[in-house]
Structure 1
Amino acid sequence: WRPPRFLDCDSTSKFQLLARGNVPSSQHAFPAQPLDDRSHVSIRDGTWLQSVRTTDPSLFLGFASAFLLCTTRLLMPLTTTSASPRPSTLAKMEDRKRPAISSADEIAPPSKRVAVNGSKAKDDPLDMKEESWVEAYTKGAIYRQMQEYSRKASTYESRLEELHKRSVHHDDHLRIIDAWWRQVLDEMELLLADSGVTSQTPSEPPYLSSVSFKDLHDFQKHLSEKGKGIKLRAEAILARLASSRGSIKPDAAKLESKVAGLLAAQKEYFAKLDRLKTEKDQLSEQLNAATLRYFKAEKKLDRAKSSQVQKMEQQAFANATRPSASGDVNTDSGETNGNSGELLLKYEEATAAATKQKEQLDVFLAEIKALQDENSTLKAKRDTLTDEDFIRTDVFKQFKNQNEDLIKRINTLEATNKQLREEAERLQAERTAFRTMLEADANQVTQELESEIILRDQDLARVRSARDELLAETTQHKARLDQERASVEQVKALASAKEDRITALESQLSRLQQSETQQAVSPDIEALTVEELRLKYTKLQQDFDSINMELPAIEKAYKKMKELAHRKAMDFSATEERMSILIAEKSKADQKYFAARKDADTRNNEIRSLRHQNSKSSEIIAQLKDLESQNRVLLGNLEKQLTDLKQSNASLMTENKKMEVTSLDAIRRTESLNKQVSDLSNLVKSKDAASAVVRERNVMQETEVEKMKVRLEHAQKDRDNWKNKALSNSSEEEEMLRTFALCTICRNNFKNTALKTCGHLFCNQCVDDRISNRMRKCPTCSRAFDKMDVMPVHH
């Protein structure tokens, strides 16, 4: 344990200085400085008082005696100084030392007499006073603790009563559920009277008297036996229903989709339940924190209301600030009263904040209680959901209606399927009979056709031999024509050679005739002139050229004649050989012709027989055509039935598609609604979080407003007191100091704002007015200043 903070060296030296009168009187005359000193002392002492109030009473009681001894020994020289204060000031101090709040039900220690004119009180010794005071203080602490115990006992009694009501409700609920199950079992036994199922009679009572952790095994055994009996009877009823209704084949896919939808809805409910659980846990934590703060506030309030604590604080401050000289009585009493006033201000602020917090806590407790009741009802509903609750839901009704529609459709489809199956079996039998008949007829026709094919193959062989003979004749005729064509071409070649020879001979004849005429007329060569010789030479040159031109034609004609003669000789020898070969072949062809005539006679006979067989096969084909027409009629009827079935199937498919479209639309709507619900839930969560933050901020601000109201009231009271004091005890020196502290412009407000440029002091209102009116010069020294040059002082 360490001594309180107001008993350190600084505070004791200050108190001694104040007691000895070493502080100048001007500081006490000016009202701002004592206020600052008092606020400093009250802040230091207030922290100690706050620590004293927040400590545990059991810890504080152990140090009470040591604390009192230390304070009395330290403050004794200050309180027993020889001084003769004025009676009026002593009366004022005595009135101010009295406690502001006194409750009749609290135990207070005996009042202490005040020493008048330096005389001591005529009471018991100091040790007896301390013992009685400590005893009274312990009694007050014990009384406060007993009050706390009584509050806890009342809360525990209320909770016990609530738990008792809930236990009675749950016991009744269990009895009702057990009786309902027994009634259901009795009705099932009546329904199963003919099925031969025997029920086991339970050996234990119909319901347990209590359910706790000790009886948990017996309770599970009880529930398992009840469940076995119910399952046995339910299975028997379902078996009877199944045997009476026949085989039912529901649409598994649709049922699975429905089950999936219900499972998704169940998961959504589980998510919502989880969210409510988390919110409930958060609210319970907030409730625990609020109750803890409430209990702490109650303890602080009880401690603050205790007369012993108030008297101890007042005595401590009174002893610490009691004057020693008559000149400083007013100053010390003002400081003491200021300290007590500030303590009262803090106390009233704490009480106002505590009352506001208590009201808010009551509101929170009411909300939490409502939420707990709602949560408990929701939990009870969730844990005790029965088949009737599921039956009453819209989802179950919709599912039931859809299931009934599906069962009706399945029954109609099964009936139509049965009829179609019978018709298909009949048509299959007719088809097999018709197929066997067709196969027999086809086998007979194929055998006949195979025999005809064999005959036709023989005819084909004869026709092919005739074709070969005709091809041989055509080749012979073609060869003869080719020979004639070659001989014609040879004749044409001889004619062309003859014409070439004729042209050559004609040119020779013309040349020779000219030469003969010229030879007859030609004179002597020596007598000819040069010109004549030249002409003759040219003529001879022309003759020579013509001869050269005639020689190739003659040579060509000679070669052609020679070649044609050689070819004619070779062709003649080849024709002789071919004639001999053809004579041999002709003899062979004559033999083949006589054989072919014999074969033709046989083939004519075969053709007659084939024609007879063809007439028989035509009759068979006519019969087959009749059968085919009958089969076509039957096939048309079957096709009509098939079209009807297709139309019915198409209508069912369209209905199925419509149902699928409606289901898809419903799924989309549910998804959109789920998205909207999730968005709205997220929005609600964000709004709840924002509202919770705003609510907490409002709570804090309300408490601060209450504190500020109390501070404002005390500030107004202090202002009125100081005004009265100033008006009643004003002197020339004080008036001078007051005028010195007032603003030189308005003479109403104190100087609280300084100009950085020149250092002169004015009030903030006058400075703001001059800045707003653009009169930005100091009224004292006319130095310019700006808004940034303004500095507040004397806070």
Structure 2
Amino acid sequence: MQVRLRQLLVNEQANKVEIARLEKEVDSASARLTEATVKYLTAEKKVDRLKSQTLAKIERQAMFNAGAGSEPQRDPSLTDEQQSAKDRELSAKMAEGHFADVEQARKEAQAIASKQKEEIQQLQVDNARLSEQVTTFTIKFGRLTEEDIAGCDAYKNLKIRLEDVATRYNHLEALNKELSEKIETLDAERSAFKEKILEEQQAVLDEMQAQLSKTESDLARIRGARDDLLQDQQLRKAREESKLSSAKEVAELADARAARIASLEFEVERLHNELDSETSPSSPAVLGMDLPQLRQKHEQLEKAYKVLAQELPSLEQAFKKTHEQCNKKVAHLQETEEKLKRLQAEKNKADSKYFAAMKSKEGLQMENRALKSQNSKSTEIITQLKEAEKKSNLEKQISEMRNTNSALLLKNRELQSRMAEQSNTIDSLKSQLETLNTSLRIRDSSLAKESAVRRDAEIEIEKLHVKLDEAERALESNKPVESENSQLEALRQIALCAVCRGRFKNTAIRTCGHVFCRQCADERIASRSRKCPNCARSFAATDLIAVHL
């Protein structure tokens, strides 16, 4: 808004400068018109003076009177008496020949002087009135009221702009207040929503962490109990299996030994029975034998005993060997069982390590699953936050679009106000153009009239030049004597300007009274050499007085 106000002030200053420039142009045009009018009136007066033969006679008479009143340049070849005689003769001629013309010219000059005096008085009155108006307008321009500038187009435009700026300022202030409240509300809602989401997430994370810790502790406890039970079961199973295998082998060996013992006992009993039956004296077979038969039988029995005696050590040796082999087998089986126990213990250790590895693996899997679930929840939270951020960005874009729309509406209003200002300016320029066209038509008509009058004046001037040439020729034909020529030349030298010696004197300096031509005085004023050539006294442009000789 401040930038806009500064811009409006700059535009106002530019408009003021433009108005001042236009006023200067109008003043310069008015000054040029006044100067042209003055020049035209001066030329018209000169033409009237050239037309008037009586005025020409009066000028000649005045020149002669001025020559007679001042001390003319004397001819060194003449004496004082001769010079005075010539002066008296010249005066007599002038008195005799031109008295009537001089009297008439005097009356005409009196009438012209009275008329010029009236015109001067009227001009003084007009000058005083105009000076008073200038003073009044200057004071009024320094303290302009609203009523004075109410009809100015620039004031109207600035008033329209000010109203537009005030409306836009009020609208922007209300919009800014509304947007500030909305922004504060949205920030509070966003902060509350963010805190709520973070609190919920933290609560969920804490709950999940507690559940995870509890689950891990329960799992570790269950796994430890399971491992202990499995290890105890494996040990019990190994011991039972080793006991069962040893008992089975021992039972098998005992059964084998018992079967062998039973078979040997049966065989021994059979042999005893056979022996008893054969040796029994009550046996009818023995009783019915004779001595050689008995001897033969005895020999057979001895042979049988011997065989048995020989067979029993071999049987004992075989039994011992079998017993030793069984003992070795049992020892081997015990060693094998010991090895199996060691291997089983190692296997149990390996199983415990395996279970520990599996436990750690399951723990890592559980942790991985927990991290995955946490990651998924974090992803959901991030997605929600992104959606919230996207929503806030969309709201920001909507607010920016609203601001842009408001700016465009303001720009539209500004353009409408500018269009209204331009239309007012166009109307005022049209009115000014019509006024200027009217003034131009009037000036063209006046210039046409002035051109016609100027052409008539030029024609009259040409006629006067012709008459002047004829008068000069007549004067040359009636040329006086040499003394009179020298007298006239002296008078002419007195009437000429002392500076340029080419034009007649027509301007006097008020401060010292010396007379020169107007052109030389203007040249001195223009060159800032404002001192009298004769007495070197300073003078100003207002000290110059027109003199008619």
TM-score range, shorter chain: 0.3 to 0.5
Q: Which has the higher contact order (CA 8 A, sep 6+)?
A: 2
User: Under a length normalisation based on structure 1, what TM-score does the superposition of the two structures give?
Assistant: 0.26
Q: Which has the higher helix share?
A: 2
